[in-house]
Structure 1
Amino acid sequence: MSPSSKIKEINDVQEFKEFYLQDSHYSFCAECNHMEYSHGNGFLEIIALEDLQKLHSRHIGHQARRKFYSIILLTDGEVEEIIGHQKYRFGPQSMYFIPENQIHSIESWSEDLKGILCMFDADYFLLCIKHQIKLNQFPFFQLDKVPFIDLNDRETQMMEHLFWKLNSEKCQKTTFNDDLLVRMFLNIILLEAERIYNRKAVEQPFGLSRKEQLVAQFQLLVNQHFLEKKQVTEYAGILCIHPHHLNDMVKEVTGFSASYTIQKQLVQEAKSRLMQTNATVSMIATELNFTDDSYFGRFFKKFTGLTPLQYRRKHKHQ
C-alpha cells in the first residue's frame, strides 16, 4: 500500500465527526438554526477544543487530508501536530491554520486543552462584496509560509471575542442576510489574523522539500495567471520541468492533479463573479477567457452540478 493511500480524505463536517469523534452524531451547536447548503455551497462549523478533547477518538498519528480550511485558536494547553511534513508544538495564546487539501495529523493534545476550532470551506467564504480577497492569498494558508501566529494578551482577547461573535451570529441566523453577517465576521477574523501575521513576520527557518517548493511555486503561478494560462504545459514550461513530473508532484502534495488545481481556481473565480457582481454569464465567460458561453456553462456544471444561472439564482444574496 502506498503512503498516500493511507491518508484519510475528509470532505466535510460529517466525515470529520466520523473520523475524529467517538460520537459521530454529536451536534457542535444544538441551538443552531441549521441552514441547508447544497451543491458545495459551503459550511461553517465551530467547536470548543475542550469539547472536542472529550469526544476525540484518539486518531493520534493518523494522517488526514481535509478538503476544507481550519483555524485553531489555542488559549490553554499544548498540542503537537504535523501540518504538511512539518511538526509543530503550539502553546497558549497561539493561532494555527490548516489549508484545504493539506496533509495533517494530530500527534498529541494535553489534557488542559482550551480554545476554538473553526472549519469552513472555500464556497462558504464567498462573500457578496466586490473584490473579496481570496483564501489562498492569506499568507498562513500558503504552502511556503509558516502556518501560525503567536498572540499577546490583547490579541488573544480580541480573537476570543471575534470567535464568540461569529458563533453567536451563526447560531441565531434565520435568513441569508444573517448568514452574510456570519461570513463577514469570518472575514474579519482572517483579516485581523493576517494583520498580526504581517506585523510579526520575521525570517523563520522553514524547510520545505524540493517537491513542496515546486508545488508552492506552481500554486503561486496559478493564482497569478489562471485567467490566461489554463494548460499544465504552460506552467511546466515556466518551471522548466516536464508536465508529467509537475502533475505527479502536485498530486502527491495536494491529492489533486495539476489540471484540477487550475480548473478549481477558475471555478472559484466564476463563483465569486456570479455572487459578487451583476455581470451577465456571457460577460463572465468572456472575462474568464472561455471561447464561448456554452463551453463555460458545461465546464461550470461539471464542477458544481449547476449551470451558472442556476448557481446565481440559488446562492446570490438579495
Structure 2
Amino acid sequence: MKQDYINISQIIKEITPKANKDDYAVCWIKNEVDGIEIDHVLYRNVSNSIFFLDPKLQWKIFKSDGSTSVGYILHLSKEVLNNPILSNLHINKVRLFNSGEVPLFKLSPGIEIRTQAILEMIDELLGSHLNHKDEAILSLLNTFFVYCDGQCNIKSIVSNNNSKTNVVYKFKQLVDQNILENHEVTYYAEKLNISPKYLNECVQEVLSVSSKSIIIEQLLMRSRHALKFSNQSIKEISFELGFSSPDYFSYFFKTHTGVTPSTLRKT
C-alpha cells in the first residue's frame, strides 16, 4: 500500500483540503469547532460527528488556532476503498461518498472513545516501520467503518434543521446518562416532552429500529463490557445496570444474545 493512499492528521487549526486532491475525506470532530463549511454552507454544533466528504465537495473547518486537537481528518484514496477488506462493507455498498448528499454520523455516547483509539492507532502505524502494518491499518479501517455503520449511531445527512434527527440524538444522550436507573421508553419520552409513539416514530425513521431496541442495545453493550473486563460478580453487574434481580438479568441477556452471562464470561 503506497504511503499516499492513506493520510491522517489532527484537527489543531483551520483546515482546507489541498488543491487538486482526489482523495475522499473522513472528518471526525470530537469537540466543538467554530463550524464546518461544505460547498459554501456553514454548519455549526457539529461535535461528536463524522462527515464523509466526496472529492468533488469544497469544504473548510473553522477552528481557532491552538495546540489542542479536536479530532482527525482521514484522507483515503479510491484504491484503499476498493480493497477487498473494505469493498464489501455496507458503508461502501451504499456509496456513502457518492450519494449526492453529505453523509453524517452522530456517534452514540461511548463509541467516541473507541473511535479515537482506532484513529490514534492508524496515526501511529502510518508513522512506523512495523512489519505487516498495511494489513493492520486496513483491519483498523474496517473496524472504524463497522462502528460508523452500527445501529448505535445516528446516520443522517448534513442539515441545519433536521428535527427528528435531533430528537433521536437527544434520546440517545438521555439513554446514556440514565440507563442505569431507567429502562423504559416512556421515561425518555417524558423527558423529551413528546409521546412514546412519536419518539418511536423518530427512531424508526432515523435508525430503522425501535426506541426500545436502543435501550436494549445500550444495556447489552454495558453488560458485555462488565462481564469481560471487570471483576464484579454477575449479581453486582445486574444491580448496577438497574435490573431487579440477577435471575431477570440472566433471562434478559440470554434472550437477546443466546448465551447466559456466565457462559459469555468463560469465553
Q: Which residue of 2 aligns with 1:248?
A: 201
* Correspondence 1:78 to 2:23: yes
- In 2, the alpha carbon distance for the partners of 1:137 and 1:222 equals 17
How much has 1:78 moved relative to structure 2?
2.7
- In 1, the alpha carbon distance for the partners of 2:211 and 2:91 equals 15
Q: Which residue of 1 aligns with 2:217?
A: 264
Contact 1:73/1:94 (8 A) holds in 2: no
- In 2, the alpha carbon distance for the partners of 1:299 and 1:262 equals 12
Q: Which residue of 2 aligns with 1:160?
A: 126
**In structure 2, do the counterparts of structure 1 residues 239 and 159 end up closer, same or farther at CA, with 3 Å as the change threshold?**
farther
- CA deviation vs aligned residue, 1:185-213 (integer Å, no higher than 9, x gap): x89xx9xxxxxxxxxxxxxx962411111
- In 2, the alpha carbon distance for the partners of 1:49 and 1:247 equals 46
- CA deviation vs aligned residue, 1:95-126 (integer Å, no higher than 9, x gap): 28xxxx999633549xxxxxxxxxxxx9xxxx
Contact 2:25/2:55 (8 A) holds in 1: yes
* Correspondence 1:134 to 2:110: yes
* Correspondence 1:230 to 2:193: no
How much has 1:301 moved relative to structure 2?
0.9
Contact 2:219/2:241 (8 A) holds in 1: yes
- CA deviation vs aligned residue, 1:136-172 (integer Å, no higher than 9, x gap): 55788xxxxxxxx9xxxxx99646247964844999x
- In 1, the alpha carbon distance for the partners of 2:53 and 2:7 equals 13
* Correspondence 1:94 to 2:94: no
How much has 1:313 moved relative to structure 2?
0.2
Q: Which residue of 1 aligns with 2:249?
A: 296
Q: What amino acid is the match of 1:305?
A: G
**In structure 2, do the counterparts of structure 1 residues 265 and 136 end up closer, same or farther at CA, with 3 Å as the change threshold?**
farther
Secondary structure of 2:209's aligned partner: coil
- In 2, the alpha carbon distance for the partners of 1:206 and 1:159 equals 34
Contact 1:102/1:254 (8 A) holds in 2: no
Secondary structure of 2:95's aligned partner: strand
Q: Which residue of 1 aligns with 2:265?
A: 312
- In 2, the alpha carbon distance for the partners of 1:206 and 1:283 equals 43
Q: TM-score, normalization: structure 2?
A: 0.52
Q: What amino acid is the match of 1:302?
A: T
**In structure 2, do the counterparts of structure 1 residues 87 and 229 end up closer, same or farther at CA, with 3 Å as the change threshold?**
same
Contact 2:180/2:242 (8 A) holds in 1: yes
Q: TM-score, normalization: structure 1?
A: 0.44
- In 1, the alpha carbon distance for the partners of 2:52 and 2:96 equals 10
Secondary structure of 1:282's aligned partner: helix
- In 1, the alpha carbon distance for the partners of 2:135 and 2:177 equals 34
- CA deviation vs aligned residue, 1:6-49 (integer Å, no higher than 9, x gap): xxxxxxxxxxxxxxxxxxxxxxxxxxxxxxxxxxxxxxxxxx79
- CA RMSD of the aligned region, Å? 4.9
**In structure 2, do the counterparts of structure 1 residues 311 and 245 end up closer, same or farther at CA, with 3 Å as the change threshold?**
same
Q: How does 1:102-117 map to 2 (within 5 A)?
A: 105-108=95-98
Secondary structure of 1:291's aligned partner: coil
Q: What amino acid is the match of 2:111?
A: L
How much has 1:256 moved relative to structure 2?
1.2
Q: What amino acid is the match of 1:77?
A: D
Sequence identity percentage? 24
**In structure 2, do the counterparts of structure 1 residues 278 and 80 end up closer, same or farther at CA, with 3 Å as the change threshold?**
closer
Q: What amino acid is the match of 2:126?
A: E
Q: How does 1:42-53 map to 2 (within 5 A)?
A: none
Q: Which residue of 2 aligns with 1:143?
A: none
- In 2, the alpha carbon distance for the partners of 1:244 and 1:309 equals 36
How much has 1:305 moved relative to structure 2?
1.1
- In 2, the alpha carbon distance for the partners of 1:102 and 1:246 equals 26
Equivalent residue in structure 2 for 1:214, among 162, 167, 170: 167
Secondary structure of 1:94's aligned partner: strand
Contact 1:222/1:262 (8 A) holds in 2: yes
How much has 1:292 moved relative to structure 2?
1.1
